[in-house]
Amino acid sequence: MGTASKALSLLNYFTRSTPKIGLSDLARHSGYNKATVHRLLSELARHGFVEQIGSGREYRLGPAFLRLAALRENAVPMRELATQTLTELSTATGETAHMSLLNGDVLSSFSYTYSTAHGTMVMMEDAEVLDLHATSSGLAVLAHSSSQYVDDILSAPLIKRTPETETDPDVIRAMLPGIRATGVAISIGGYEQDVHSYAVPVFDANSACIGAVAVATPVARMTDILGEQIISELTTRTATLTRLLGGFPPDTFPTFLQANPPQIGG
């Protein structure tokens, strides 16, 4: 692994629940030498990617991300388009809709919308990291990724989030062709108990899978009829979103789920 990758991978240890990390802690978790981590953190700090809190205390993410996120959003106004689609989706289904994006090996929550139709609702967290093996979004992504990538992910230890979480790599691998064929991934209580969710993939201009859109409901509310309605709304609206983002489904993606292409000629 290159040195730059090591530095960047340190950033993955900062999460919503662990916003501040000490040098020794980070060395322990990452497995790198303390001196190495210190040097990498110093370089990250020089560019504003991390900053130290007191004098000689813990580190946290720096202000540079605000600047670069603004530039990214200026170049690719994804959030705007995504949120619009999600709003329609949660309104139409009466349930929570969310979109996740793949950042390297990490799938994270990007945007979500709630419906006011019911008293109970599946709640989401901003920038939350979603397990690829334990969420419907993760499975949708895996089903449309290279077998090389799938191997990488499934060869790492798979966390058992709930008693229902499937952690056997072979069982998960066996699920993927079915997901590819139907275009829809399902997870029932695999990530959080009592949460049922359907997810479909989103593709970029190279037909690479860049994330997923999902609708999540409390398991108690799920019925065959609701499920069919959700799948219908989810597949058509997400196909449109993919096109709005400038993406194209790959040839392997079920054609009956693709958005109508603009008529050329005619």
Partner DNA sequence: TTGTAGCGGTTCATTATTTGAACCATTGGT
Partner DNA sequence: ACCAATGGTTCAAATAATGAACCGCTACAA
The residue (of 58 and 194) whose beta carbon lies closer to DNA is: 58
Residue 60 binds DNA (CB under 7 A): no
Q: In terms of CB distance, is 32 or 112 closer to DNA?
A: 32
Contact between 34 and its own copies (CB under 8 A)? no
The least CB distance from residue 218 to DNA, in Å, is 41
Q: Rounded to whole angstroms, how far apart are CA atoms 37 and 53?
A: 17
Range 205-223 burial, b when 16+ CB lie within 10 A, else e: eeeebbbbbbbbbeeeebe
Question: Could you give the string, one character per residue 210-239, with x where binding to its own copies holds by CB under 8 A and - elsewhere?
Answer: x-----------------------------
Report CA 135 to chain centroid distance, whole Å.
Answer: 9
Contact mark string toward DNA, 4..43, x via CB under 7 A = x-x---------------xxxx------xxxxx-xxxxx-
Alpha carbons 257 and 234: distance in angstroms, whole number: 10
Q: Residue length, the chain? A: 266
> What are the structure tokens assigned to 217, written together?
């409901």
- Say whether 139 sits in a helix, a strand or coil: helix
User: In whole angstroms, what is the distance from residue 171 CA to residue 180 CA?
Assistant: 15
* Closer residue to DNA (CB): 51 or 88: 51
Q: What is the spatial distance between Cα 1 and Cα 8, in angstroms, rounded to a whole number? A: 11
Q: Does 122 bind DNA (CB under 7 A)?
A: no
CB of 27 to DNA, least distance (A): 7
Minimum distance of DNA from residue 252's CB (angstroms)? 23
Query: Rounded to the nearest whole angstrom, what is the least distance from the CB of residue 137 to DNA in the complex?
Result: 28
- 3-state percent helix, strand, coil for the chain, nearest multiple of 5: 45, 20, 35
Asked if residue 96 lies in contact with residue 214, where contact means CB atoms within 8 angstroms, the answer is no
Nearer of residues 16 and 118 to its own copies, judged by Cβ? 16
Strand, coil or helix: 71? helix
Q: Which is nearer to DNA, 39 or 160 (CB)?
A: 39
User: Per rule CB under 7 A, is residue 206 in the interface with DNA?
Assistant: no
- Separation CA 147–CA 172 (nearest Å): 13
The CA distance from 247 to 200, in Å, is 14
Q: Does 108 bind its own copies (CB under 8 A)?
A: yes
> Could you say whether residue 77 binds DNA (CB under 7 A)?
no
Residues near its own copies (CB under 8 A): 2-9, 11, 14-16, 19-20, 39-40, 43-44, 46-49, 51-55, 60-76, 78-79, 101-104, 106, 108, 110, 126-127, 204-206, 210
Residues near DNA (CB under 7 A): 2-4, 6, 22-25, 32-36, 38-42, 52, 56-58
